[in-house]
Structure 1
Amino acid sequence: MKKPEPGSAPAGGSVREAAPARRATRPPLERPTPLRERVYEAIAEMIVTRELEPGEHLVESELASDLGVSRQPVREALQRLQTEGWVDLRPGHGAFVHVPTDEEADQLLAVRAILESESARLAAKHATPEHLEKLRALQRVGEKAVAADDQAAMVAANAALHAHVVSMSGNLVLADLIASVARRVRWYYLPIARSRGKDAWDEHAGIIDAIEEKNSRRAANQMRQHAERTREIYQEWRTEGAEERA
């Protein structure tokens, strides 16, 4: 009996095609951040840290020189920053750092209080020993910043602690909403970080205790009171500044 040729169909059947070899898994391609994005981030951070003060005139050539880039990515960054409310472009006059009104700051801080209250409530439900260990570590960083009277470190530690509480909530939609206002909260918080000082970190300690006890209601209430107190201090700071200018 004649043997079938290699690759030919056996009697009464059809040839099965060999399964293609699986390709090796490759890491995702690294894509360098576009220059305009890096310039946007740099200028936004300069505004948030008040290296560029509210109302300050932004000169493209000066910013380009400071950042070591051409004027084109600076121009593109300023246009995006205008769209997002960080910069005001005035025809015939140029670009200026936005000066927040009392109303817009108050509205944003009010919304922040609602969102972060819910994040604390959920964090108390989902807290693990690892979560709490990191919260306590962030609390110690903040307390050291207050003791050293390091304003920038206070702001950074405050943002990190609040962000960790949000991540503990497990609610991605809530996290996205809070992230969308987090940078502006830092902007508002910087000038009052010293006046909030130890009180803010005492309030944080109470929130952490409530989360550790898995007391969702108390954690939510204490976070709301904490955020509302920040809102009140900011309003007082704005009022005092207005009186001094008058």
Structure 2
Amino acid sequence: MQAEGFIKGRPVSLAVLDYGLFQVHSNGRIIGISGFAIQTDENETILVDTGLPEKYAKNAQSASEEDRLDEFGEVLGCTPDNLPAAQLAKLGLTSEDVTLHVCTHTHIDHVGGLHAFPEAPILISAKERKLAKPLYWGNAQPIDWPSCDYLQIEGDVRVGPGLTVLEAPGHSPGQIALLVELPSQAVMLTSDAISRAEEIDEKFLGAWNEAAANASAERLMKLAAENDAFVIYGHCPKQWPSLRKAPETYS
């Protein structure tokens, strides 16, 4: 399947989906786990990322121990209300309404519902899809690739009018970002290519590929400036409380 032109309508709204809260042990940073739902004037719905696996909403402590995620941090909040289906329901949507499922990269807090939308093609970087399994977390790789249609991208792709997927490796091999041109403003969704603004000054120390991460961030911020875009970072503690979350939208 071809990603370019897959979406026919123009984006008319963007909702931030609240997938819960996580605290990093090493620095005490509390971060929101986010996804997005973009709707077009052709009644298409683009779901961007799916948060933590469902087992975390059932028993976060047990799931963290199983995946050894508790070595990195603590899940502070992940309830059934923080799963994709419940977040979409706040917008009056169901899983059947999802036209396209975008996976920005395959870490644990982005792929929890990777198998949950079998009727929707998954748009993903070809570099990420070529991995034997989704990255998940550390040495834990319990998720296999779903049997579904994939739109594998290389480089930047205009998925539809007003919707561009941007190659932004560094945090992971196939990290991608999105530029969404809404009627009243453009929005840059950096995902974990820039988790928070301070990462730029910190030079992405500890990233999978620091040089690539720096180059990607510089390019994304330049594009954001050129398009006068509102930037939504991947996991920014300062920004998270102020973001409009479903059922509220940006339009």
**Structure with the higher helix share, 1 or 2:** 1
TM-score > 0.5 by shorter chain: no
Query: Normalization by structure 1: what TM-score?
Result: 0.23
Larger radius of gyration: 1
Query: Normalization by structure 2: what TM-score?
Result: 0.23
